[in-house]
Amino acid sequence: MSLVESSCAAADPAALALRLQAATLAHARLAEAAAAAATELSVALGCDRVAIGLRDEADATRLLGVSHQAQAPAERALARALAAAMDEAIDQAATLVHPQPTDGPPAIHWAHEALARDHAGAHAALCSVPLADAGRPLGAIVFERGAGRGFEPAEVALCEHLACLLGPLLELKRRQQRSLPRHALDELRALRDRLLGPGHAGTKLLACAVALAASAALVAAVVPADHRITGQARIEGAVQRVLVAPVDGFIEQVHARPGDVVAAGQVLAELARDELDSERRRWQSQAQQQGQAYAEALARHDRAQLVMALSRAEEARAQLDLAEQTLRRARLEAPFAGVVIQGDLSASLGAPVRRGDVLMTVAQGDGHRVIVEVDERDIAGLRVGQPGRMVLAASPAQPLALRIRRITPVAAVVQGRNVFEVEAAIEGATPPLRPGLRGIARIEAGRRPALWIASHRLVDWLRLQWWSWVA
């Protein structure tokens, strides 16, 4: 056994693999790592020269590192010969040994014969081992020895094991050196292989879901849909009248409650009239006294007393008329036929009221209007004359046709939201309605892309936040 053979036999394959791994990973650049790995293999296996090459994107083998050299050899003929020998091993996907063993499988060795003849010596021994990563051809390693030092089967097997370890390490280094565009392109190619190749059912399902979502988003961004603005709605009488207390007093009788249908002139409530009667009688007595004084002054031909009595009599009659009018107004009467919608005074009998206090609200029963509470974020999309529909909570199966008649320019706070009241008229035949009914109204605001309809609230909120925090 030769000296080299004995050193290889004595070498610990595990220790050699660790040294090879450490030498490769100690360098950041791919070419430096390949040269260090080639040098480590040359020393450990007793080779005169070890060359490592990898295939590029064009499937051309490029020489990366040669043992005991910081850079690839400058001699182009040698580099081409080494690359040709590597291609010969890669294309046949087999380890090639030159001179070819007599008991080995037949293989093509033309490039190895040329390399030995022109650059290594006619009797030199060569061994080319392909490099692979995840079953994909990556490159090759060429081991060279001088005349009389061939490669035994055990040494060839060791070279193959070391190549299996070195291939993924070199591929990792090459991936680390990729540019950002190249990295993106490789990821796209890998994704293409997972989508079009066998297996990877999860990736294919995810891609189908993403494609469907993208198609739906594209359709939603292009295809228009009806844009409807929604708001809480209530029904009110077309004409409403508020009944207030004419004077300070007390509630004496109540003849109607909210929800009652009343006729025009019907008495709804009465205030206590005792004080008002006393006031009327007092001014009535004053008027009679001043009338007698006027008659006496006229009989005496007393002009001064005549003028004074006449003015006091007129004042008393005026106060008497006012007292009688106030007494009549103490009876709250319905101004028209309709429905009492507010003011339940049945539990307030005897309660004091002050002049101007709202006691009842009466709405006409033969005309109605709809008040829609529209959020301030949607008010810009409404115009007078736009159509809509309303569904009442009392009859959700029977929608009512609406048309906007007026937009109140002043906002109000309802349940913590800023809303505008939009008045709409009911169109077409309507079922029996009562003021106070509530429901949901949807107003047609034109046609917009479906994606805009679904996202405009979020986009507007983001714009507002951007304005408040950044702009």
CATH number assigned to the domain comprising residue 378? 2.40.30.170
463 lies in some domain: no
Q: Does residue 254 sit in the same domain as residue 211? A: no
**Ranges assigned E (strand) in 197-344:** 224-237, 240-244, 249-254, 261-262, 267-271, 331-333, 338-342
Is 222 or 305 the better-scoring residue by pLDDT? 222
Q: Does residue 35 sit in the same domain as residue 162? A: yes
* Domain at 247, CATH number: 2.40.50.100
Q: Does residue 166 sit in the same domain as residue 22? A: yes
Q: Does residue 106 sit in the same domain as residue 122? A: yes
Residues of the domain holding 435: 367-447
Task: Tell me: pLDDT of 355 over 60.
Answer: yes
111 lies in some domain: yes
Whats the size of the chain, residue-wise? 471
Whole-number pLDDT of residue 471: 59
Q: Does residue 158 sit in the same domain as residue 15? A: yes
457 in helix, strand or coil?
Answer: helix
Number of domains in the chain: 5
pLDDT, tens only, 43-75? 989 898 999 999 987 888 888 889 888 666 667
55 lies in some domain: yes
Buried b (16+ CB within 10 A) or exposed e, 136-171: ebbbbbbbbbeeebbbeeebbebbeebbeebbebbb
The lowest-confidence range among 200-214, 272-286, 366-380 is 272-286
Q: Does residue 173 sit in the same domain as residue 79? A: yes
Average of per-residue pLDDT across 430-445: 86
Whole-number pLDDT of residue 73: 64
Q: Does residue 164 sit in the same domain as residue 30? A: yes
Task: Tell me: pLDDT of 8 over 60.
Answer: no
315 lies in some domain: yes
Q: Does residue 257 sit in the same domain as residue 320? A: no
Whole-number pLDDT of residue 6: 40
Whole-number pLDDT of residue 7: 44
229 lies in some domain: no
Tell me the pLDDT of the chain averaged across its residues: 83
The radius of gyration computed from the CA coordinates of the chain, to the nearest angstrom, equals 53
231 lies in some domain: no
Q: Does residue 252 sit in the same domain as residue 284? A: no
Q: Does residue 81 sit in the same domain as residue 168? A: yes
157 lies in some domain: yes
Q: How many CB atoms lie within 10 A of CB 88?
A: 24
470 lies in some domain: no
Q: Does residue 157 sit in the same domain as residue 199? A: no
Q: Does residue 131 sit in the same domain as residue 189? A: no
pLDDT, tens only, 318-346? 877 777 777 777 778 788 787 887 778 87
Supply the angle between the helices 303-329 and 274-300 in degrees, to the nearest 10.
160
Which of 320, 347, 364 finishes a domain? 364
- Interior angle at CA 455, CA 452 and CA 459, nearest 5: 105
